Structure 1
Amino acid sequence: MLSSSKTYSVLPASDLARATAWFRDKLELEPEDTSEQGVRYRTGGDSWIYVYETANAGTAQNTAMCWLVEDIEAEMEHLRGRGVEFADYDFPGLKTENGVATDSQGKSAWFQDSEGNYLCLTQPAVPM
């Protein structure tokens, strides 16, 4: 049953107002729905992101969410123009050049939101 169910991403924020401003100012996302508990953003198609307030925000050291994009360099240039900083990595199995890691699966680039969550852009090797 789950293989045909839609999914969505949930991101923690230690300061919901700060996170909401960051998503608006950096990613140009406007809330679709807000409540005292959190903020919901609609993204491509039926996808969405739910950001909620918790003291545990920013403690995970793994990728929390990715966007599938068709042109990673263009997306990165646009986000950099809005002040988003991409991470550079150089360790076994992952090396970036100008923020982009390339492997047989495609290209990926990571950045952190205002709450310390790791987000990424991914351009699959096979066009979407």
Structure 2
Amino acid sequence: MNTNNRDILAGASTATRLPAQDLDRARRFYSEKLGLDPVDELPGGLLYRCAGTDFVLFRSTGASSGTFTQMAWEVDDIEHVVAELTRRGVVFEDVDLPGLLGGGHTSNGIAEIDGNYPSKGARGERGAWFRDSEGNMLGIGQLVF
């Protein structure tokens, strides 16, 4: 293996790892609130798959700070997803940050973010955030073209 290549990781897949102090509680949250069930599990963690990408909840004695987005789903209809998750009991964060349109805060749980970061040719995105049962900050995003 040639370790001098700059693109050594470019062909590797990525997977998010989220800490969970209580895997049973986390499993219930992801199943009941998000409609997700693990595709594989070991005593130390749960593997989830969404649209061909993986994320893992792993048993941890530490907790996430929950002060930043740790993982997000990209959706086509953010209003529908936020409404359905709210119906299931997910509580969305009221975010008030510089750079958000509409006065820098969320409206009905959704923020307008212009030019947030390079996003597949989009000019920005609409976003919403919530915490899972373990305090991990998760997001829902819809690209704006």
**Residue in structure 1 matching 2:98, options 79, 92, 97:** 92
Deviation at 1:60, TM superposition (A): 4.1
Deviation at 1:59, TM superposition (A): 2.5
After superposition, the C-alpha distances for 1:40-85 in whole angstroms (9 at most, x for unaligned) are 01111x2011001112123242111010000000000110111001
Distance 1:56 1:84 in 2: 23
Tell me, which stretches of 5 or more residues in structure 1 are unaligned? none
State whether structure 2 residue 11 is matched by structure 1 residue 4: yes
Distance 1:109 1:101 in 2: 6
Secondary structure of the equivalent of 1:78?
A: helix
Deviation at 1:5, TM superposition (A): 2.2
Higher RCO structure, 1 or 2 (CA under 8 Å, sep 6+):
1
CA RMSD of aligned residues (A): 1.2
Distance 2:35 2:97 in 1: 32
TM-score, L = length of structure 1: 0.91
Question: In the alignment, what sits opposite 1:17?
Answer: 24
| Aligned residues of 2:127 and 2:141 also touching (Cα < 8 A) | yes
Tell me, which stretches of 5 or more residues in structure 2 are unaligned? 1-7, 115-123
Distance 1:17 1:54 in 2: 13
Runs (4+) of structure 1 exceeding 4 A deviation are none
TM-score, L = length of structure 2: 0.81
State whether structure 2 residue 77 is matched by structure 1 residue 58: no
Q: What pairs with 1:1-128 in structure 2 (closer than 5 Å)?
A: 1-44=8-51, 46-94=52-100, 95-104=105-114, 105-126=124-145
Bigger Rg, which one = 2
